Amino acid sequence: MKYLVFSSLCMFSIMASAQSNEVISQKIYAELESLITHRYYFTARDLYKSQYDKLSKFHQLKIGATIDNAFNRVESSNQKIELLLKNYDNLLSDSLRNDLLDTKQNNHSKLYEYRQAYNAINEILKKYSKILKNEDVEDYKNTLNIWKVLVDQPKQLILINGNTDMKMKKDKAGLSNLLVTNDTVKVPFIFDTGANFSTVTETTAKRLNMTIFDSLIDVGSITGQKIKARIAICPVFTLGNIQVRNAVFIVFPDKELTITQLDYVINGILGFPVIEAFKEVEITKDGDFIVPKERTKYTEQNMAIHKLNPVINIDGEPYSFDTGADETMLYDVYYKKHKKDIDGHYKEEDLSFGGAGGQTTKKGFLVDFRHTINGKSLKLDSVMLFKDNIKEEENYYFGNIGQDFIKQFDKMTLNFEDMFIRFD
């Protein structure tokens, strides 16, 4: 009888301990999910490391897959997703499955595995459309059209044949351009980390002998309007000592990349999928564009990626990072946090902004932007701060870092392997 009582007490103690551990794991998991949702990837990464042993195996894999994706460890992220789908079927709600498949297709897109990306999106639309907003369903359908065009296309390939050191030149809009060549054709392209895809006009696509597909896709503009565009594959182009094969481009009618105020047509834009594949890019204040064959080592990991957008950590706040933007802009998230320092100190006014897709105006302020990056102080005057949300995908960023920020330093290094942005 004493043995039975002792055994029962031990069993009760074990069960209580397991329940307590699950409560702790769930609490940490919920905090991590909130941080990730609000783009605090750096805080989430550090908390995940420090609390890893307190998380259940399921929570370790779920958060780990997301953090791996954010810090460009896409193969590791996919491995965790496969384990979750295989071993934790009973713990996965439709919402969680949708999230995992969304991350999976993003990972495959960065690996240029277009068929797998197509399959992931196709599964989302077939099984989980009922739990999605109408606009999300339309966005997935549009993305599906992109991958459908590319399912049988070869992967993008980058050949770095030596150090590349080129001079960037300013265009009429004040944006930095690099000379892209293909046999005898030489065309200036804007260098833009903020572009999810590389972009080109119909005229330039033909000049570079791109294969243009018939299927139409919708691309959003700064005004919120949808622009019809096509997908193209560029067989080969060179950038200094770098050869780029099978790069994907979105092809716009020439008029859609025309800035009428400047009587200027943007030939093309080198976006994230090409830039990330270089693994490291250095840009100097004097306009030198450098891709070293041997990459720099640096300990601070202050860059993450949300979908195909670089995110930089500045004083604990997440900002999108866009080398194609001439000026830094601050969003309503920044205003809400720093409201007491804004109201009464700055005058509210109408702020206009835009680009090739048009112009729009919102209420806001022109403020001083003072922060510290890589241990260095920075101050920008008259930075546009918008009081209200500009568009949905910017709900969680404090702002967008542009060229005026970058120009404060002698050199910027972007490293997509160790995930850092360094300013010297």
Return the percentage of the chain with pLDDT > 90, whole number. Answer: 71
Q: Are residues 38 and 126 in the same domain?
A: yes
Domain final residue, candidates 102, 119, 150: 150
Strand, coil or helix: what is 302?
coil
Tell me the pairing of strands 303-306 and 329-330.
unpaired
Nearest CA among 221, 307, 296 for reference residue 272:
307
Q: Are residues 207 and 105 in the same domain?
A: no
* Residue 345 forms part of a structural domain: yes
Measure the CA angle with vertex 42, ends 108 and 296; round to 5°. Answer: 75
Domain final residue, candidates 232, 249, 282: 282
Q: How many domains does the chain have?
A: 3
Helix axes 57-70, 94-110, angle to 10 degrees: 40
Q: Which tokens hold the place of 253?
A: 């009618």
Q: Are residues 125 and 110 in the same domain?
A: yes
Nearest CA among 35, 302, 95 for reference residue 48:
35
What's the N-to-C CA distance of the chain in angstroms? 75
Q: Are residues 197 and 267 in the same domain?
A: yes
Rounded Cα distance, 123 and 142, in Å: 14
Report yes or no: 39 and 396 within 8 Å, Cβ to Cβ: yes
Q: Are residues 170 and 191 in the same domain?
A: yes
Of 105 and 403, the one with more pLDDT: 105
* Residue 291 forms part of a structural domain: no
Rounded Cα distance, 34 and 44, in Å: 9
Domain limits at 379?
303-423
Tens-digit pLDDT profile for residues 233-251: 999 999 999 999 999 999 9
Nearest CA among 111, 195, 191, 180 for reference residue 150:
111
Rounded Cα distance, 73 and 405, in Å: 28
Q: Which tokens hold the place of 165?
A: 């050191």
Distances (CA, A) of 365 to 345, 351, 370: 10, 8, 15
Q: Are residues 342 and 382 in the same domain?
A: yes
Q: Model pTM greater than 0.75? A: yes
Confidence of residue 167 (pLDDT cuts 50, 70, 90): very high
Tens-digit pLDDT profile for residues 107-128: 999 999 999 999 999 999 999 9
